[in-house]
Amino acid sequence: MVFTKRDVVDIIEQNRDALSDELQNRAERQRRAVFGDSVYARGLIEFTSCCKNDCRYCGIRASNKNAVRYRLSLQQILECCETGHSLGFRTFVLQGGEDPGFSDAELCEAVSRIKERFPDTAVTLSVGERPRSVYRDFYSAGADRYLLRHETANEEHYAKLHPPQMSLKNRKRCLYDLKDIGFQVGAGFMVGSPYQTVYDLAEDIVFLEELDPHMVGIGPFVPHRDTEFKDFRRGSLNLTLVMLAITRLALPKVLLPATTALGTIAPDGRERGIRCGANVVMPNLSPLDVREAYSLYDGKICTGDEAAECIMCLKRRLESVGCRLDMSRGDSPVI
């Protein structure tokens, strides 16, 4: 169903204190109608914590001198995939900062090597803003999907979260280019980021309706101790759930992760996200010794758990809400 900005603001107001059963049930029914009891698993590989950008909310921003920087080698990335593949994963997400030390050519090589070695998998990149020609090269190398959260669809709010060199305009240009090239595209935003208003959240939904992405990543803002936003409050669990439910209803077929950030602010955050329409989980396949260093926000869960343990844990959690961990590629139903 199509929501106007007014509709979104009204729903947020109506569910301000507690998410209503009605909204949750509608979102959950919608997920079931499209995906049944499947919740898709994506193996996340955080391959570089180096970043040239300076997003004000992010723990790996360039100006954070305390951040531990690492960069996996091609060999290490392939080993993560090897482990993931033997655990049953059929899709890998290579995520990292905008790291000039990892060239576009090297990234293309990583993608094509993964596809060569594991032809039955889908590869997702999440490496930020690039020129259209580079996105085309990534696509030619075999990348299937691309995640790039828009973070906020309001210009003024965007400017408060990012340094002056970054713009919402370029962010949107990237998303439209990616879609046009043929990627399954993921956008998304944080809930409760500093200076965010309900009108900004309404704009996020209206923007998503216009972009019509295949995937949407939504998680609460969680402060990081080494950023200037360290004293801001984290986003609320309730509001994050409300935004997940609205997104499920606005984009019925979208792939919607119950994010690690959601699991970080509440022990049962991800299960509750699933009950509000989320249908993807992204266990971490990064080598254990670098997990702590990929610190976008404080308190991130699962940094000490082997992927195999996370799978067991997630299976149990999903079963508790009537779902099943689906390890298949989980392509978007709208391609």
Provide the binding-site residues for ligand FES, judged by CB under 6 A. Answer: 283, 302, 305, 309-310, 313-314
Determine, following the binding rule CB under 6 A, whether residue 326 of this chain makes contact with ligand 5AD.
Answer: no
| Residue 313: contacted member of ligand FES, ligand 5AD, none (CB under 5 to 8 Å, by partner type) | ligand FES
Q: Which residues contact 320 (CB under 8 A, 6 or more apart)?
A: 271
Distance CA 248, CA 256 (A): 8
Flag whether 171 is marked binding: yes
8 touches 207 (CB < 8 A): no
Residue with the two structure tokens 């803003």: 129
Toward ligand FES, which CB reaches closer, 313 or 321? Answer: 313
Toward ligand FES, which CB reaches closer, 84 or 128? Answer: 84
Q: Which residues of 297-328 are buried (b: 16+ CB within 10 A; e: fewer)?
A: beebbbbebebeebbeebeebbeebebebbbe
In the complex, the smallest distance separating the C-beta of residue 224 from ligand 5AD, rounded to whole angstroms, is: 5
Spatial strand order of the sheet with 91-96 comes to 43-48, 91-96, 122-126, 145-147, 184-191, 215-220
Distance CA 206, CA 169 (A): 16
Phi, psi angle pair for 184, to nearest 5°: -80, 125
Out of 250, 297, 310, 317, the only residue in the binding site for ligand 5AD (CB under 6 A) is 297
39 touches 274 (CB < 8 A): yes
| Residue 67: contacted member of ligand 5AD, ligand FES, none (CB under 5 to 8 Å, by partner type) | none
Determine, following the binding rule CB under 6 A, whether residue 149 of this chain makes contact with ligand 5AD.
Answer: yes
- The first and second tokens of residue 280, run together, are 């993807």
Which 204-223 positions form the footprint of ligand 5AD (CB under 6 A)?
A: 219, 221-222
Give 209: exposed, middle or buried? Use CB within 10 Å, 0-12, 13-18, 19+. middle
- The first and second tokens of residue 268, run together, are 């049962």
Using CB under 6 A, count the residues that bind ligand 5AD: 12
Residue 294's SS3 state is coil
Out of 58, 93, 251, 274, the only residue in the binding site for ligand 5AD (CB under 6 A) is 58
Out of 44, 296, 307, 310, the only residue in the binding site for ligand 5AD (CB under 6 A) is 296
162 touches 56 (CB < 8 A): yes
- The first and second tokens of residue 321, run together, are 């809400």
Determine, following the binding rule CB under 6 A, whether residue 67 of this chain makes contact with ligand 5AD.
Answer: no
Flag whether 58 is marked binding: yes
Phi, psi angle pair for 330, to nearest 5°: 55, 55
Out of 190, 239, 265, 325, the only residue in the binding site for ligand 5AD (CB under 6 A) is 190
Toward ligand FES, which CB reaches closer, 127 or 296? Answer: 296
| Residue 222: contacted member of ligand FES, ligand 5AD, none (CB under 5 to 8 Å, by partner type) | ligand 5AD
Q: Which residues contact 159 (CB under 8 A, 6 or more apart)?
A: none
In the complex, the smallest distance separating the C-beta of residue 284 from ligand 5AD, rounded to whole angstroms, is: 13
| Residue 305: contacted member of ligand FES, ligand 5AD, none (CB under 5 to 8 Å, by partner type) | ligand FES
Site string for ligand 5AD, 104-123 (x = CB under 6 A): --------------------
Q: Which positions make up the binding site for (3R)-3-methyl-D-ornithine?
A: 126
Q: Which positions make up the binding site for S-adenosyl-L-methionine?
A: 151, 171
Q: Which positions make up the binding site?
A: 51, 55, 58, 126, 151, 171
Q: In the complex, which residues of this chain contact ligand 5AD (CB under 6 A)?
A: 57-58, 149, 151, 190, 219, 221-222, 224, 261, 296-297
